Structure 1
């Protein structure tokens, strides 16, 4: 631990920066404004640089202050977790796993990808859904142990992250009842006639679908493009258009949305990646997922719906066991 400055002074600076002003920080700390201001000035003297500058009725960070704030975030946000971690470890044997999920990862896929660790005794699982940029920031701050995303994030010089492929699902086409017959007729060329819904670029599935259309000689009649996969399925199920989806969620699509499988999409797969922060001692459950290898896709057991048939088809089921 460095003794070149006071961590108490750093804490006062951190509160001032988060509150955006010395008066608001003093009110939160229950201290006099003059005391807080003096503590921050003392930190600036110890570090040899101005950290704050006036901004309207408050303060803003200088460039040196930005650097100090980044480090203070790491220190004190981890410190805020300390009492809870200590109490939890002392009262009960709990194995915590905090997972963030990107919006492009379907809910049932999340369950499938985490299956190798879900049998852990005393597991306490916390799952949140966030934009990928927020997931990566929370990984860097150790607020999350693992993130599940539908495409590998680009390397970032300020983040020490590890990414690996956790599973790959084949993709198929689905249609609401009103579009079933038209979509089935001469599939996939029918996709030039019926309305089609697609994921927005740069989604990995979209990057594969565009070449697939070219190979099939189809110019799709695009009726909508969506960033969120759940919205795409919802609008498709309500009749806006035919849409592609990972076969891993077919059971949920049939049961919840009442759509019908139209046909496969050879050569198009949807990969799912896991991301974690580089640590000298990795989280044991994250290490188990790393060692388990990609989840197998498994065969498709169902056939396309027949026009006029009300019989519900069997859904594809992937092997629950990861490839060893």
Structure 2
């Protein structure tokens, strides 16, 4: 097999990111004809088609998308090396790029990521929040080192990834002091039947578990709000709009921060948190620190 011409690969990367040969030509200060010729040579050397024409535009083939993931990793790492050498001669700054599913409570995300902050060689942390599917897409093309989620890797996504259970905990219910005081009954979980309740949206893995648990107790809650974003759910709950569920692992910290009242806790509903990576065996120093700390201190040991 012939060796990859990295100049040609760089042209491919720029074209894919720019969205077309014309825009890439402007960025590279070359003629479109020259770039097209270089792309043709790259495809010929690899023996695959990277782009296909769609009208007047170019689209990546499935093979092209796969190649783009590797090219992204190669050239982003090259840019990081240049930055590290300019800013810290003789030493490379470790970067840790992590995606956090928006259903994961922000306080929980911090608790999980905190061990990486206190490493001997503190990494530069780059955090992105979003829907799990989008984050896993970025993980597949090496834009992220890790995704923290409330579920294992979905089977219906054409993305290569491995799930590592960080731990699990029960669910607690909180309410603002004013809302809690307005209910004479303090019986838990019965109090939930009479009160306004906030719930995570349908994307949250814990949502169906909560609904099954409430149904098993014949509790028909007055659901006044559903939130895809956990921070928004907690903000509404802290303002007294409704009682709200949180992972038991962070309930004491949330009480201290917000003054919310603990209504009760159940282990009949278990929430799990996963680290999803492209590695079957974790090797990134920051990821190892997170995994070890979570298993030793934060949660019940993963099954």
TM-score normalised to the size of structure 1?
0.77
- Distance between the aligned counterparts of 2:202 and 2:127, measured in 1? 24
Alignment deviations for residues 86-143 of structure 1 (CA, whole Å, 9 cap, x no partner): 6458533644433222212223222332455544212114141322223222322333
Query: Can you give the 5+ residue segments of structure 2 that lack an aligned partner in the other structure?
Result: none
User: Match of 2:147?
Assistant: 147
Q: How far 1:222 sits from its partner (Å)?
A: 0.9
Q: Residue 99 of structure 1 contacts residue 144 of structure 1 at CA under 8 Å; is this kept in 2?
A: yes
1:24-55 Cα shifts (integer Å, max 9, x gaps): 22111101233223333444555475833253
Provide the C-alpha distance between the structure 1 equivalents of 2:77 and 2:44, rounded to a whole number of angstroms.
30
Q: CA deviation at 1:19?
A: 2.5
Aligned to 1:207: 208
Distance, in Å, in 2 between the alignment partners of 1:280 and 1:134 is 23
C-alpha displacement of 1:258: 3.2
Residue 232 of structure 2: aligned partner: 231
- The structure with higher relative contact order (CA 8 Å, sep 6+) is 2
If you compute each CA radius of gyration, which structure gives the higher value, 1 or 2? 1
TM-score (norm 2): 0.82
67, 74, 80: which one pairs with 1:78? Answer: 74
In structure 1, the residue matched to 2:218 is 217
- Change over 3 Å in CA distance of 1:4–1:268 after alignment to 2: same
What is the CA–CA distance in structure 2 between the aligned matches of 1:67 and 1:100, rounded to whole Å?
25
In structure 1, the partner of 2:160 is: 160
Q: What RMSD, in angstroms, separates the aligned Cα atoms of the two structures?
A: 3.2
Given the superposition, is the C-alpha separation of residues 93 and 221 from structure 1 closer, same or farther in structure 2, using an over 3 Å criterion? same
1:277-292 correspondence to structure 2 within 5 Å: 277-278=278-279, 282-290=283-291
Give 5+ residue unaligned stretches, structure 1: 299-317
Larger displacement relative to structure 2 (180-189 or 241-250): 180-189
Aligned to 2:262: 261
Q: Could you say which residue in structure 2 is the equivalent of 1:294?
A: 295
8 Å contact from structure 2 (residues 150, 274) kept in 1: yes
Closer/same/farther in 2, CA of residues 281 and 211 from structure 1, 3 Å limit: closer
Deviation at 1:184, TM superposition (A): 5.6
3-state SS in 1 of match to 2:295:
coil
- Please say if residues 234 and 257 of structure 1, whose CA atoms lie closer than 8 Å, have aligned partners that are also in contact: no
Matching of residue 190 in structure 1 with residue 168 in structure 2: no
Give how far 1:169 is off.
2.7
